[in-house]
Amino acid sequence: MIRISRRLLIRVGVTVARAAERRETPWPLSRPVIRSALRCGASAEDRITLLVGMAAVHAADVQRGRGGEASARAAVAALAEAVGADPAEQQVRAGLLIKLSEAHARVHAVTGDEDASAEAVRAARAAVVSAAAVHSVDLLDFLVVWFAELADLFDDTDLLDDSVAAARAGLAAGGTSLFNFGSVLRLRFEREGHADDLTEAERILTDAAAISADHGLTPAELLSELGHVLDLRHQMTDDPADAFRAADVWREAVASTDPADGWARARHAALANALLVSHQLGGPAALDDVLAQVREALGPGLDEPDYETCHIAATVLLSWQQLQDQNASERLAEAETAARRAVVAAGGDDRLAADALDLLARVLHALFLDNGDRDRVDEAVTISTDILAYPVGSADDEAGRLVNLSVSLLDRYAAFGDSADLEQAIATRRRALAALPSDHHDRARYLTNLSVALCQRYQIMGTTEDLREAVLHGRAAVAATNHTGIERAQVLSNLGNALYHHYTRFGDLRDLDEDIDLLRQAVACVPVRDAAVAPIMSSLATGLRLRHERLGTLDDLREALGTLADARRISTPSDVDAVITDAHGITLYAMGEATGEQGWRSQAIDVLSSVVIGSRKDADLPRRLGNLMSFFGPGTAFDDEAVASRVDAVLAVAEEVIGALPDEDPRLSGLRVNLALVLHARRRPEDTARLIREVEEAIRIIPPDHPDRAEWSTALGAILRDVATRTGDPRELASAERCLRDAARAETAIPVVRLRAGRAWGELAAQRGDTATAADAFGLAVEQLAMLAPARLERRDAQRWLAEVAGLATSAAAMCLNNGDARRAVTFLELGRGVLLNRALGIRDDISLLRDADPSLAVDFDHARSEVDALDRPEQVGVVIDVEPVGVQARARTAADSRRERRRDAVGRLAEVIDRIRLVPGFSAFPGAQALDDVLDGAVSGTVAVVNVSQYRCDAILLGKGGPRVVPLWVREEDVTRMVLDLHESVVTANDLTVLAPARAAAEDRMTQVLDELWTSVVGRILEAVPVAERTDTITWVPTGALALLPLHAAAAADRSDSALDRFVSSYAPTITALEHVRHRQHGAQSGRRPVVVVSSRNDWARPLHYATDEAVEVAGWHRVAPVDASTANRQELLSALSAATDLHLAVHAVSDLEDPSRSWLRLGTTRLDVAEVAALDVRHAWLAYLSACETTLTSGELADEAIHLTGAFQLAGFPHVVGTLWRIPDAVAARAARTFYSEVRRSSCTPSEAAHRTSLYLRDRYGGSPAAWAGYVHFGA
């Protein structure tokens, strides 16, 4: 009887226990019945069932708020005993361990006991082992989810590893839920950022979607999870293909979702987000479709706000507003409503609440940017600060919240100027970076954010350490980024921006070059019609404009305008457009300055005024205002009523802005100077005291080593000089000189600023008679020329700089001669003249000695200089501005842009090779011809006459065996200029057969008078001064300035009693350096004679050469070669013939271009060969080039010291002897001259200079009364 009662009690107890485990409503006597059954000696299996039931009863008590900790621990005790009973089946054991894990987790939830959480994990891990042992797929699948829940409950990311391990064990056991596996991989990626997890999740979910029916899931569930994964994948890779696929997947998910499904609205919101991203990347999605999906998500029937729906909708609306300027305020208002509803929907879930509040803060920040309402940004900062105390789900969450807070702080600082906001913003970004692991996939974004903040603080506070750190973090960001598209473009752009500011602060051109390179890469990362790239294009244009200011590269300016045209076409938001408009205005003005065309300047003022006048909310207004004020310089029509009104409006804005900026703001100095320059240009006497005070204050507050300080000092010097001129106050003049001196000596200033300051300083010193100071000042300016026209600068751009500084070297030499220092005078003439020539000659030296010393280095040098030479040859490239669709322009500019950068890099490689060569013993001064000091010490053959013409004095410096000897000349600079004009105008008249004979005869008489004056005032005095003991029969003329356009060798007394031709054999050289190079090179010439004679048989020119063919045939016969007919040869054949020649004779047309001498050209049939292309040739073993063509030695007056003409080009190409002409020679005379020249060479084996001399004597004897016929031939060489 008793035995039966126990069995019955056990059965009842087991039944009750199973009901409790199924979570059915417990019977009030469940606990005592199960307890009684446990006392009845139940079997091991029944005992386990009873213990599990008892644990369920205790768990139910906890759930209903009864028993609390005691009930929770009692459940643990029961389950621990059940596990301790050691069930025979591993599957049962695994189930018990899962329940035990859940019980421990419940204790942790009730008590916070960390030991309980550790026990929960330990039990779950033991469950995995048991389940895997018996291949229990269901239990393993449950454990996948359970570990993910534990990871969230205990905030332990490592538990996601256990979840993934359980999933892999399930796969090994024969299958698991692919949905769960993919989801947990996605969760682990979100927490830890491992790209492999996302890749595997995508693969698994894609496979699962194909077999969704087999897993009891609707396609919408799997497609939604796959959509999440693809969204994340695009954020990681920036690959547009991922974004486009995500949009397609979300569209499928929405299509397969029942409208009554509770997830329908959330999926519409997610689709809206995916479509927006797709649109941003140039995909097929339309913005209208985006808005339609948001409307579906937030439409009627959403009585209770759904968190995910509202959150995504607010995010989409915020992003949509950033793309569409229209109805921006309306979209932001909708975004605010959705974000606030998301906050409500988050309820008590702190993590969801933090995410929703973070989004709300970003929306409020956007509203502040839209309407300037301080309450909005204050609320944004408060919210962003508060949520830092909320728990974070991952390092990404924490870092993201910190960055969003820093953005609001930075913009609040920019608007209201509280420095505490600036400091907190940077500290916050440092915290964001520190929150991430060192290998985090998105670390680059946080590095670049910190770089941007530091750069902003530098711009506001001027702390150079911030700038250096900004560059450091920017470089780290570029190295760490694995993004593509706009994300990569932003990282590259931010480093470029830091380097831009580093350049403007320290003046290292390499920083600016790298900035431009980075921005070009950034633009290339983004589709050409993406508006997000417009600000980057604007930054690129700014860098190019700044490089133009430094180097004078006009193609940089053209590219800048073309880039801005592209940017303006694709940009829409007003804030971006203001940036682009600003850059456009400045670049237009720079083009006006470069070309001298007033239309560019007027357009620039109109453009920039549109974003300055009437604007008060623009945080960048001080910089834009400074740029606009700089446009109103000398030449502004202040008497024009419209202009005066505009200037008054600008000055009113300036007064307001300057008054509002804090004293420590580094932008103040530039604003003060530009304000002073406007006041100075307006020239109102009542402004004088103030404008001087403004510039003095600007100089006072700018750091002593800042590059702009020299520019401000130069501006003040110019103002004071002008004031002194008007008032006659010597104190102002002395102050002006001090300012200019300080600017010229500022080593951190860019070369052009130092040069201009030095020249102005020298002029003031010379004006007061201090020639020693003037010599130092002019000399310092001359020393900047090499940096002003570096080897990387193309010829036409260098010419513009050199034309601006014409006469600088001759002024420096004149001051040295005043001080009795002829050696220093010659040194400055060599430094300041023939700059383009000397930089080319420096790499054309013979390298046979180097080849003997280090053959490998010789090969490297030869290759590097050949690369530079090749880039000296002009290419047919052009830039079209503002006429083609976006993208076409970029491709059109590629050739020119690439050429500039290739030249820069090639020159850099050549410099690196030269540095290595200088380490070789005996080559420390490589490259270079005979040292100038040796020439000045008398190591020179024959007499060299350097003839210096300047505004201060004119002299000849004779270089011979006895060292330099100075010969003062009876001529002024203006006399020489007049002689040049008279002579060349007379030549034109004398050679014009349409002019009546008396007029032509009168022109010849005027030429005779000019030659007489030239003899009396210059040449005769020089020849008389040559010491008898040093007299030879040769003299080499090195004329300066306009004197280079006169035939010194033909100077003669009007009565023919004496002349240069009767005394000396004359040759010419542009510089002593060029002369010594020629002398050195001619020793290696004539190694196997290869004569080339070129003529054009076609006479379709307006002025046909009737005698040219006969001349060429005759010369070719002497050389025993056949003439080359340029009419039938192509360009490459002609260039090959010229490059191979040792003796070259050209009987062709030549045209001089006085606007751009580098474009002076030879007409070889249908081929035009200009100065630049000839100069780029490197003719080895050449000897003589005879140019039987017109005006081959004619050049512009501004560039006379540069010897930019065809005669000089052939000498640079390698011919030590070149015979050319100063003007147009009649065809018959040219043929007779050539015949005479070669007859002399063949008959007496004389040198080319002697043959040219005898030819001039012959022509003078034949055409004595016609100097136009006989005086125009010149010999360049030794």
pLDDT digits (tens, 9 = 90+) for 3-13: 446 677 677 76
Q: Please state which of the four CATH numbers 1.20.1070, 1.10.3470, 3.30.70, 3.30.420 is assigned to the domain occupying 932-1067.
A: 3.30.420
Question: Which of 530, 571, 518 is CA-nearest to residue 887?
Answer: 530
Distance of alpha carbon 48 from alpha carbon 74, whole angstroms: 15
Note the pLDDT of residue 1. Answer: 36
Distance of alpha carbon 345 from alpha carbon 360, whole angstroms: 13
Answer whether 377's CB lies under 8 Å from 411's CB.
yes
What is the mean predicted confidence (pLDDT) over 689-715? 84
Answer whether 906's CB lies under 8 Å from 864's CB.
yes
Note the pLDDT of residue 619. Answer: 66
Note the pLDDT of residue 886. Answer: 36
pLDDT digits (tens, 9 = 90+) for 478-508: 998 887 778 889 999 999 999 999 998 888 8
* Of residues 1111 and 939, more confidently modeled: 1111
Answer whether 955's CB lies under 8 Å from 971's CB.
no
Q: Helices 158-172 and 114-133: crossing angle, nearest 10°?
A: 10
> What Å distances lie between residue 1258 and 585, 929, 1037, 1095, CA to CA?
62, 35, 21, 25
Note the pLDDT of residue 45. Answer: 77
* Of residues 1267 and 726, more confidently modeled: 1267
Q: Domain locations in the chain?
A: 848-917, 932-1067, 1075-1277
955, pLDDT greater than 90: yes
pLDDT digits (tens, 9 = 90+) for 574-618: 555 778 888 888 899 889 888 888 888 888 888 888 777 766 566
The secondary structure element, H or E, covering residue 1147 is strand 1143-1147
Note the pLDDT of residue 616. Answer: 56
Note the pLDDT of residue 849. Answer: 78
226, pLDDT greater than 60: yes
What is the mean predicted confidence (pLDDT) over 934-940? 60
569, pLDDT greater than 60: yes
For residues 535, 538, 544, 550, the Cα torsion angle rounded to the nearest 10 degrees is -100
* Of residues 175 and 1253, more confidently modeled: 1253
Note the pLDDT of residue 824. Answer: 92
What is the mean predicted confidence (pLDDT) over 942-960? 92
* Of residues 780 and 700, more confidently modeled: 780
For the chain, the straight-line distance linking the first and the last C-alpha, in angstroms and rounded, comes to 141
878, pLDDT greater than 70: no
What is the mean predicted confidence (pLDDT) over 378-388? 91
Read off φ and ψ for residue 1204, nearest 5 degrees.
Answer: -90, 90
Residue 470 corresponds to which tokens in the numbers above?
Answer: 């900004």
Burial of 861 (0-12, 13-18, 19+ CB in 10 A): buried
The secondary structure element, H or E, covering residue 1125 is strand 1124-1125
* Of residues 933 and 684, more confidently modeled: 684
Answer whether 44's CB lies under 8 Å from 70's CB.
no
Distance of alpha carbon 648 from alpha carbon 658, whole angstroms: 15
Question: Which of 585, 575, 651 is CA-nearest to residue 619?
Answer: 575
Distance of alpha carbon 638 from alpha carbon 707, whole angstroms: 31
1060, pLDDT greater than 90: yes
Question: Which of 1071, 575, 1192 is CA-nearest to residue 810?
Answer: 1071
Banded model confidence at residue 325, pLDDT cuts 50, 70, 90: low
Banded model confidence at residue 880, pLDDT cuts 50, 70, 90: very low
1084, pLDDT greater than 60: no
Answer whether 327's CB lies under 8 Å from 291's CB.
no
In the chain, the largest separation of any two C-alpha atoms, in whole Å, equals 165
319-333, 722-736, 770-784, 1041-1055, range with the lowest pLDDT? 319-333
Residue 883 corresponds to which tokens in the numbers above?
Answer: 């006429």
Rg of the chain, C-alpha, whole Å: 43
Banded model confidence at residue 218, pLDDT cuts 50, 70, 90: low
Note the pLDDT of residue 493. Answer: 93
Q: Name, of 54-63, 535-544, 1075-1084, the range with top average pLDDT.
A: 535-544
96, pLDDT greater than 60: yes
Q: How many whole angstroms from its chain centre is CA 1207?
A: 39
Residue 58 CB: number of other CB atoms within 10 A?
Answer: 26
What is the mean predicted confidence (pLDDT) over 36-62? 76
Answer whether 467's CB lies under 8 Å from 500's CB.
no
Pairing of strands 1034-1039, 943-949: parallel
One DSSP character per residue, 399-441 reads: HHHHHHHHHHHHHHHHHH--HHHHHHHHHHHHHHHHTS-TT-T
Please report, as a single letter, which amino acid is at residue 1228: A
Distance of alpha carbon 170 from alpha carbon 180, whole angstroms: 11
Burial state string for 169-188 with b = 16 or more CB within 10 A and e = fewer than 16: bbeebeebbbbbbbbbbbbb
Note the pLDDT of residue 999. Answer: 93
DSSP SS3 for 1221: strand
What is the mean predicted confidence (pLDDT) over 209-229? 73
Note the pLDDT of residue 518. Answer: 93
Note the pLDDT of residue 231. Answer: 83
Banded model confidence at residue 433, pLDDT cuts 50, 70, 90: confident
Please report, as a single letter, which amino acid is at residue 572: T
Answer whether 1201's CB lies under 8 Å from 806's CB.
yes
Note the pLDDT of residue 478. Answer: 92
pLDDT digits (tens, 9 = 90+) for 139-190: 888 887 887 888 888 778 888 888 888 888 888 887 777 888 888 888 888 8
One DSSP character per residue, 906-918 reads: HHHHHHHHHHHHT
Helix ranges, 481-553 (H):
485-506, 509-524, 534-551
1278, pLDDT greater than 60: yes
DSSP SS3 for 828: helix
Distance of alpha carbon 892 from alpha carbon 738, whole angstroms: 49
Residue 38 — left, alpha, or beta (φ > 0 → left; ψ -120 to 50 → alpha)? alpha
One DSSP character per residue, 1048-1106 reads: GGG-B-TTSS-BSTTT-EEEE-S-HHHHHHHHHHHTT--SS--EEEEE-S---SSS--T
Question: Which of 216, 205, 217, 213 is CA-nearest to residue 245?
Answer: 205
Share of the chain above pLDDT 70, in %: 90
Contacts of 460 (CB under 8 A, 6+ apart): 413, 422, 665, 666
pLDDT digits (tens, 9 = 90+) for 1002-1040: 999 999 999 999 999 999 999 988 877 667 788 999 999
Banded model confidence at residue 1044, pLDDT cuts 50, 70, 90: very high
Contacts of 87 (CB under 8 A, 6+ apart): 44, 45, 48, 93, 96
Note the pLDDT of residue 1225. Answer: 92
Burial state string for 909-940 with b = 16 or more CB within 10 A and e = fewer than 16: ebeebbeebeeeeebeebbebbebeebbeeeb
Banded model confidence at residue 1082, pLDDT cuts 50, 70, 90: low
Mean pLDDT, the chain, whole residue set:
83
pLDDT digits (tens, 9 = 90+) for 254-302: 888 888 777 787 887 787 777 777 776 766 656 677 677 777 777 766 5
> What Å distances lie between residue 1273 and 213, 885, 1186, CA to CA?
98, 53, 10
pLDDT digits (tens, 9 = 90+) for 1124-1180: 998 888 888 888 899 899 999 999 989 998 888 988 999 888 888 888 888 888 887
Distance of alpha carbon 99 from alpha carbon 23, whole angstroms: 13
Banded model confidence at residue 1065, pLDDT cuts 50, 70, 90: very high
889, pLDDT greater than 50: no
Dihedral sign computed on CA atoms, order 666, 670, 673, 678: negative
Pairing of strands 1167-1170, 1161-1164: antiparallel
> What Å distances lie between residue 378 and 344, 372, 418, 960, CA to CA?
21, 11, 13, 82
Order of strands, edge to edge, in the sheet holding 1149-1151? 1149-1151, 1161-1164, 1167-1170
Question: For the domain 1075-1277, what is the CATH code?
Answer: 3.40.50.1460
Banded model confidence at residue 882, pLDDT cuts 50, 70, 90: very low
Pairing of strands 963-968, 954-960: antiparallel
Question: Which of 77, 90, 175 is CA-nearest to residue 128?
Answer: 90
Burial state string for 674-700 with b = 16 or more CB within 10 A and e = fewer than 16: bbbbbbbbbeeeebbeebbebbbebbe
Distance of alpha carbon 275 from alpha carbon 280, whole angstroms: 9
Distance of alpha carbon 1221 from alpha carbon 1206, whole angstroms: 10
Question: Which of 799, 811, 872 is CA-nearest to residue 836?
Answer: 799
List beta partners, residue 1145: 1093, 1186
Distance of alpha carbon 355 from alpha carbon 202, whole angstroms: 25
Residue 52 CB: number of other CB atoms within 10 A?
Answer: 23
Note the pLDDT of residue 1262. Answer: 92
Distance of alpha carbon 410 from alpha carbon 417, whole angstroms: 10
DSSP SS3 for 526: coil
* Of residues 546 and 267, more confidently modeled: 546
Banded model confidence at residue 891, pLDDT cuts 50, 70, 90: very low
